[in-house]
Amino acid sequence: MRVLVTGGAGYIGSVVAAQLVAAGHDVVVLDDLSTGHAGAVPPGATFVKGTLRDCAAEVLADGVEAVLHFAAKSLVGESVADPAKYWSNNLGGTVALLEAMREIGVRTLVFSSTAAVYGEPEGPTVRETDPTRPTSPYGASKLAVDTTLTEFGRLHGFGAISLRYFNVAGAHSLDPGWLGERHNPETHLIPNVLAAASEGRPVRIFGDDYPTPDGTCVRDYIHVTDLADAHLRALGACRTGQHQIYNLGNGAGFSVREVIEVCRSVTGVEIEVETGPRRPGDPAVLVASSAKIQSDLGWRAERDLRAMAADAWSFTQARSSR
Ligand SMILES: NC(=O)c1ccc[n+]([C@@H]2O[C@H](COP(=O)([O-])OP(=O)(O)OC[C@H]3O[C@@H](n4cnc5c(N)ncnc54)[C@H](O)[C@@H]3O)[C@@H](O)[C@H]2O)c1
């Protein structure tokens, strides 16, 4: 199948594009390189540099049958400082993509939604039926896309699936090389702990007095290769006229201290820790229930925290040795 991967020069989109190529699909990547890297587009995929607004129609018209949509801005802090950027890029860009799809007759789409649509959770385990009360323009812009997809399903016959990721980590092995996280700024825990290890500086923990077993926040992490597998399953499960929503996590959380301990073990570096105050709005525990995607699509996370840290470390080492 000929598939369009928007944002396929970014972290997650590049890994999914690689898996789609490996599965025999004809992949075209559309990315404006605002946060992505041309070198991350995997071999075998065609790359078009451009924005959703300017280029989606032309790319879709060239025989595309389905879309995997990753292109977005995704920094919570930046979205609070500049909400218009998030509404314009994440919602406006997506509406331009959906309108181009509708005009050309492409109606199958898998969308990168996020745990940020739920906001402050009511309980430790988040289900798809929980209330959506995003606390940032980033989360709100993603929720607005989810709502738009429900309408495009009902009114225009789209078959769409939104996958709500929690924390994505690790790197994907290509032969040769790796695809991994290259965000700037990097806000994710594992790459930041590994950067501290390779630069010999301490890592900062925000609060160690939470009601958790070791006092630090507990979060749900999944390996980017497992996440890519879920996208391929979702692509085959889109149904005309329906918008389905699935959480993606491993169902068990890891504390910040557990993550640091695994990173120490993987790197062999005694990473020093500095403890600061809690950050406002950080819930103690945030874990996804992935029961729905397990039962509907047969997906479950296969790779553990050690694999995430070890693969991310291999990616870091491979980059620094270049
Ligand atoms: N990384 C995570 O842990 C995580 C968690 C939840 C949800 N998500 C979502 O997953 C998706 C991918 O995240 P990522 O970590 O790979 O981010 P990323 O920044 O590495 O990738 C996003 C890509 O989209 C491109 N892009 C952005 N706006 C564009 C536009 N208008 N037109 C064309 N290209 C554009 C960027 O250049 C970049 O290559 C995002 O939608 C994000 O909101 C990520």
For 108-129, the pLDDT digits (tens) are 999 999 999 999 888 889 999 9
Per DSSP, 249 falls in state S
pLDDT band at 321; cut points 50, 70, 90: confident
The predicted structure's pLDDT at residue 176? 83
Using CA atoms, how far residue 322 sits from 179, 208, 315, 316, in Å, is 14, 37, 11, 10
Whether 320 shows a pLDDT value over 90: the answer reads no
Query: Which residue's CA is the closest to the ligand 1 atom numbered 7?
Result: 114
CA of 6 from ligand 1 middle (Å) equals 9
Angle subtended by helix axes 11-22 and 224-235, to nearest 10: 60
Instruction: Among 13-17, 39-43, 277-281, name the one with the lowest average pLDDT.
Output: 277-281
Minimal-distance CA residue to ligand 1 atom 23: 7
Sign of CA dihedral 110, 115, 119, 125: positive
Q: What is the pLDDT of residue 252?
A: 85
Answer whether 46 contacts ligand 1 (Cβ < 6 A): no
For residue 8 and ligand 1, the question of a CB distance below 6 A is answered with no
Orientation angle between helical segments 256-267 and 305-320, nearest 10 degrees: 50
**Is residue 303's pLDDT more than 90?**
yes
Distance between CA atoms of 119 and 248, rounded to whole angstroms?
16
Residue 39 pLDDT more than 90? yes
Which of 70, 227, 250 maximizes ligand 1 atoms within 8 Å of its Cβ, making it the mutation to test the pocket?
70
pLDDT, tens digit (0-9, with 9 covering 90-100), for 193-240: 999 999 999 999 999 999 999 999 999 999 999 999 999 999 999 999
Residue 280 banded pLDDT, cuts 50, 70, 90: confident
Query: Is the pLDDT reported for residue 148 higher than 90?
Result: yes
Q: Residue 236 contacts by C-beta under 8 Å, 6 or more apart in sequence?
A: none
* Sequence letter at residue 143: L
138 assigned to active site: yes
Whole-number Å distance, alpha carbon 187 to ligand 1 midpoint, is: 13
> Rounded mean pLDDT of the chain?
95
Cα angle 171-311-307, degrees, rounded to a multiple of 5: 110
Ligand 1 neighbourhood includes 74 CB (under 6 angstroms): yes
Q: 70: Cβ below 6 Å to ligand 1?
A: yes
What percent of the chain has pLDDT above 90? 90
Residue 281 scores a pLDDT above 80:
no
Residue 220's Cα: distance from chain center in Å? Answer: 13
